[in-house]
Structure 1
Amino acid sequence: MSPTAETGAELYFLPLGGVGEIGMNLALYGYGGKWLMVDCGVSFGDESMPMVDVVMADPAWIEERADKLVGLVLTHGHEDHLGAVGHLWKRLRCPVWATGFSASILKGKLHEAGLQSQVPLNVVVPGSTFRVGPFEIEMISMTHSIPEPNTLAIRTPAGTVVHTGDWKFDPDPLLGPVADKEALRRAGKAGVLAVIGDSTNVFTKGHSGSESEVRGNLIALLGRFDGRIAVSCFATNVARLESIAIAAEANERSVALVGRSLWRIDKAARENGYFTDLPPFLTEHDAGYLPQDKVLYICTGSQGEPRAALARIASGDHPHVRLGKGDVVIFSSRIIPGNEKEIFRLQNDLVRLGIEVVTEKDEFVHVSGHPAREEMEELYRLLRPSLAVPVHGEARHLQEHARLARACGVPEAVEISNGAMLRLAPGPVEVVDHVPTGKLCVDGPRLVRLDSEVLRNRRRMVYNGSAVVTVVIGKDGKLLGDPQLTALGLLDAAHEAEEHDAVVEAVREAVEDLPTKARRDDGIVREAARLAVRRSLKESHGKKPITDVHLVRV
């Protein structure tokens, strides 16, 4: 690391999460020996992470420097930007800044973590400017698929950095103001050193579209159905929730929310002045008393989450909601890359029940919350930065974003990875250090590194099973009875007796073949038995299970 990184007047950008991936956003800015954190989010587990639901960036590097962390600023209320605060704050212990809607969501999470009275939470007005240590921060209002998304203009004596967060230019967002292009233009005229920008939809041509178009189409679409209607969308898409409710009202249907996260968002929205013209939503229980042509359910689970409301409805496991032949489920959302299998499995389960499934491929029921290429080009025209640093995307997104920025006249675009400490100013832009990074996951009540021995073994057990063999040896070094074997996920002793006995015999032979002196060494006996189990199961089942040997000496 440059000797001035901790003490001097150089300006640094250091992502610990959210670069080369979508989710887990955690960015650091360093100036004058102090560090500012922007966002602290989560991602979600996939089939490569057995029994892991929530994943986040490991903050170990900044945790070691927590005395120099002046604060955390949240750009907006999505899980991939604030979902880790409740898990990580005790390691950071810094004040937090957020606008009202994001603060309401965060308060609920802090309450769940028992931190509601500990975290210094500063609620700021959208469009306001405030100071955090040596950083002056202007919250520039944008549009997105959640209320109060903010682009940050981070000003220091070394220059101004614009951190976009998630954004788009929606000309008619329906909920909240349009993006403050004038504030962006002012920042551009004053001089922008670098744009740290969202890359999610860089491959999408044209414009991302407006929520007002979706609302109009939903009104017409709902009128085509006579049975029960369920609509699944991202719970945090407050404008979409309002659009669905208004479309339902236009078709003389009452709306029930099905899923805890929807009720949490409804509460946060009403606390902050949204949904003022909407009547209270019904509970799923009360909606069951309505005629089927008078009800609409808004459900969680648009990404195929197995414990969400829609998956439980599809499996017939929901206590209050039943759907079947003549009903329709509308997926008013996009498929997040990586969720295809789960979503298609859910949709197939619904179809098997006789339910009609409508997606964005069939009808205009969703617009993205992220900018398409025309919007990104307009942003660069407004800000005119000297440098572009693509973030919030996989490697191919970052590469294409860098190309687009250069085509927009940005003199320099740099592709980096998590852990790369990028010096922005003064002097040439340069990666001056690489700091350790990693991922943490929520494993019951604890946080565990994703590359830990615990999770490595769990992954191996999922794919290869596990085996435990008990060996009892007398004082003379001879076996006292047959080894006892349990091979979970591999062998059913009742139906594969021959294979089971073959493994037991392999262990017996391995121990008995040891010299008498070696049989008195517990370590040698355990290793011989372990290898015998693995070799035998590899030959019979093609698996090398996690194997444990219990050695008993009598």
Structure 2
Amino acid sequence: MDEAEAGFIFVPLGGTGEIGMNFNLYGCDGKWLAVDCGMGFSGPETPEAEILLPDPAFIAQQREDLLGLVITHAHEDHIGGIARLWPQLRCPVYATPFAAAVIRRKLQEVSFHREVKIHIIPPGGAFELAPFSLRYIRMTHSTPEAQALAITTSYGTVLHTGDWKFDNGPVIGDVTDEAALRELGDKGVLAMVSDSTNAMVEGHSGSESDVKKSFEALLPELDGRIAVTCFASNVARVASIIAAGEIAGRHVALVGRSLNNYIAAAQEAGYLRDVPDFVPEDEIGAIPDDNLLLLVTGSQGEPRSAMARIAADTHRYAVLGEGDKAIFSARTIPGNERAIFTVQDQLARRGVEVIVDGEEFVHVSGHPAREELRKLYKLVRPKYIIPTHGEWRHLSTQAAFAKENGIETLLVENGDVVLFGGNGPAVVDSVPTGRLVVDGERIVPLKGGVLAARKRMLFNGVVVGSLAIDSRGALRGTPQISAPGLLEELDARQRRAFEEEFQELLEDLAPSLRQDEAAFADAARAGLRRIVGKKLGKRPLVEVHILQV
């Protein structure tokens, strides 16, 4: 990092080369700025984990020089890590009114919420965190008040786009401020750090107002109960579904805590003020099926979400059955396919008609397709494009597309240190990166011992040997072996054979080992591992419990 200490640098720690976990650093002459702090969902390659976070260790070691955390918008992949990672950052947070309202609600669930100072910046507002001069630029996205961030230092200006699109009918929120983008381009932009999610998609992403019209035409044609699931943060989509429900003569019930939280945050920020009263969850059963619309969390198949519980018929109040309809009004985040298909299959087994985008027009993306990227390039005219926010195929596709449009590019990965020098940005160093896992109330490393043991148990099982010894280390009674998921198919004779072999091994241990409890436990553990491996052909996690009598 020495080469970049005196200069203007960019360091992605999450969200570059992957979907989710957006966490970016900008440095200037030894001072730092963080942009977004998101979470991600685990995929099939990490079944031992559910929620992933970027590891902030690099910047946490320098937090005295971290001037602030600036939020571009209120999606989970940009703010979902704040409540868990802020204790390592301990810096002020800067956000628009809506994002601030959402963040406050998340922070209220943790003990340190009163310590976090949130500065509210109006959409399109400017503020100083010297040596950084910062300006929000209004962008349209699938949540209100999405902002690009113009970051200006004595070395020049970089535009961090955040998530965005062009949409003249966003239903709720501002249209992208093309005049501000053109003005920024007139002044000169060193580089644009650019959303790549839809770089492989031709044409235009589509308009939210067209989805609203589609719902207004679709819902009156459907009978039975209707449940629609979308991202709770997509306030425009929520508003469109509620309006369509009113046209169809349906009362709306919110099912899922995050929907209630996002709608309350939206109302605090001045949105959704004219929606009708919602049906409380415990009164859903009192509404006739043809007059009920359920707005439900769980569009990504999250195991504990409302839609997953409805599909499994375990929700206390919300029930779907034969002839009812379930509409999935959201894109599938890569890695969530299996979970979503499982929920949809469970619904179909219950006789529910599952409706997805493509069958009916129920979704448009909040990210720019290629025509929108080209339009932004012409407005901003950056010297370089640095693709971010996407998997490698998305980044490399945008890099190639930018070159087709006459703009130089730089492909980077999480941990790369990019110096904005006179000859253009270049990777000059790298810093450590990693992944953390939310494990109940604690945060643990994805590659650490806790998750490694969890993964081993998942695929190979766990075996526990229990035994009693006296003060001389002699066995008292017969050892017992338990192995959930491994030994259930064995009959009583086979189980006894396991335990007798374990007993013989313990009785053959040298007397010197018997006087050392730790050495005795290690030897017992190793012996039990050999027995199980020989008989079952597996290498499970092995533990022994020793009781001294």
> For the superposition of Structure 1 and Structure 2, which TM-score range results when normalised by the shorter chain?
over 0.9
Q: 2:306 aligns with which of 304, 309, 319?
A: 309
1:548 aligns with 2:543: yes
What is the letter of the counterpart of residue 194 of structure 1?
A
Q: CA deviation at 1:443?
A: 2.0
1:113 is aligned to 110
Q: 1:530 aligns with which of 525, 535, 541?
A: 525
1:230 equivalent among 227, 230, 233:
227
Shift of 1:32: 1.6
2:327 corresponds to: 330
1:314–1:346: 8 Å Cα contact kept in structure 2?
yes
Instruction: Render the CA deviation track for 1:257-299: whole Å, top value 9, x for unaligned.
Output: 1111111111111111212332232223334322221111111
C-alpha distance in 2, partners of 1:161/1:274? 31
The range that moved more, 82-91 or 189-198, is 82-91
Q: 1:47 to 1:444 in 2, by over 3 A?
A: same
The aligned residue for residue 42 of structure 1 is: 39
Aligned to 1:484: 480
3-state SS of paired residue (1:288):
helix
Residue 488 of structure 2 aligns to which amino acid in structure 1? D
Q: In 1, Cα distance between the equivalents of 2:67 and 2:90?
A: 10
> For 1:100 and 1:389, how far apart are their aligned partners in 2?
29
1:183 & 1:440 partners in 2: Cα distance? Answer: 38
1:420-450 C-alpha deviation (Å, 9 max, x unpaired):
1111224453222221111222222222112
Distance in 1 (alpha carbons) for counterparts of 2:178 and 2:254:
35
Match of 1:438 in 2: 434
Q: Structure 2 vs 1, CA of residues 123 and 485 (structure 1 numbering), >3 Å: closer, same or farther?
A: same
1:188–1:522 Cα change, 3 Å: same
- Taking the TM superposition and a 5 Å limit, the aligned residue runs for 1:114-513 are 114-411=111-408, 413-472=409-468, 479-492=475-488, 495-513=490-508
Task: State the TM-score, normalized to the length of structure 1.
Answer: 0.94
Q: Tell me by how many angstroms 1:334 deviates.
A: 1.6
Q: Out of 234-243 and 380-389, give the one that drifted further.
A: 380-389
SS at match of 1:14: strand
Q: CA deviation at 1:477?
A: 6.5
Aligned position for 1:30: 27
Cα distance in 1 for residues equivalent to 2:213 and 2:20: 31
- Contact 2:42/2:335, CA 8 A, preserved across alignment: no
C-alpha distance in structure 2 between counterparts of 1:467 and 1:287, whole Å: 46
Q: What is the CA-CA distance between 1:521 and the residue it aligns to?
A: 5.6
Residue 429 of structure 1 aligns to a residue in which SS?
strand
* Cα deviation 1:340-389 (Å, max 9, x = unaligned): 11111111111121111111131110001111111112111211112111
Q: CA RMSD in A?
A: 2.1
Is 1:61 paired with 2:58? yes
Distance 1:553 1:268 in 2: 58
How many residues are matched?
Answer: 549
Contact 1:50 1:458 in 2 (8 A): no
Q: Structure 1: which amino acid aligns with 2:443?
A: L
Contact kept, 8 Å, 1:194 with 1:385, in 2: the verdict is yes
SS in 2 for 1:390: strand
Name the aligned partner's letter for residue 491 of structure 1: L
What's the secondary structure of 2:501's corresponding residue? helix
Distance 1:497 1:178, change over 3 A: same
* More displaced 10-residue stretch of structure 1: 84-93 or 365-374: 84-93
| TM-score for the superposition, normalised by structure 2 | 0.95
Q: Counterparts of 1:108 and 1:310 in 2: how far apart (Å)?
A: 22
Task: Name the aligned partner's letter for residue 442 of structure 2.
Answer: R
* Alpha-carbon separation, structure 2, partners of 1:365 and 1:459: 38
Mapped contact 2:15–2:414 kept (Cα < 8 A): yes
Which shifted more, 458-467 or 35-44? 458-467
Question: Post-superposition shift, 1:551?
Answer: 4.8
Classify the secondary structure of the residue corresponding to 1:13: strand
| Separation (CA, whole Å) in 1 of partners of 2:516 and 2:324 | 69
Deviation at residue 100 of structure 1 after TM alignment: 0.7
Q: Give me the identity figure in percent.
A: 48
Partner residue in 2 for 1:2: 2
Q: Which runs of 5+ in 2 are unaligned?
A: none
Partners of 2:216 and 2:532 lie apart in 1 by: 60
Give a deviation string over 1:156-213, Cα, whole Å, max 9, x none. Answer: 1111111011111112111122101111111111111011111111111111100111
Hey, what's the Cα distance between the residues in 2 that align with 1:258 and 1:168? Answer: 29
237-246 or 437-446: which moved more?
A: 437-446
Q: Distance in 2 between matches of 1:475 and 1:140?
A: 74
Deviation at 1:34, TM superposition (A): 0.3
- SS state of the match for residue 540, structure 1? helix
Q: Secondary structure of 1:223's partner?
A: helix
CA distance in 2, matches of 1:144, 1:414: 25
SS across alignment from 2:115: coil
The answer (yes or no) to whether the contact 1:71–1:95 under 8 Å persists in 2 is: yes
**What is the distance in 2 between the residues matched to 1:146 and 1:360?**
19
Cα distance, 1:512 vs structure 2 = 4.5
Q: Is the 8 A contact 2:4 2:428 kept in 1?
A: no
Amino acid at match of 1:442: V
The aligned amino acid for 1:483 is: P
Query: SS of the residue aligned with 1:293?
Result: helix
Residue type at the aligned position of 2:359:
D
Give the partner amino acid of 2:308: A
Uncovered stretches (5+) of structure 1, i.e. residues with no partner: none
Contact 2:8 2:419 in 1 (8 A): yes
Separation in structure 1 between the aligned mates of residue 16 and residue 273 of structure 2, nearest angstrom: 38
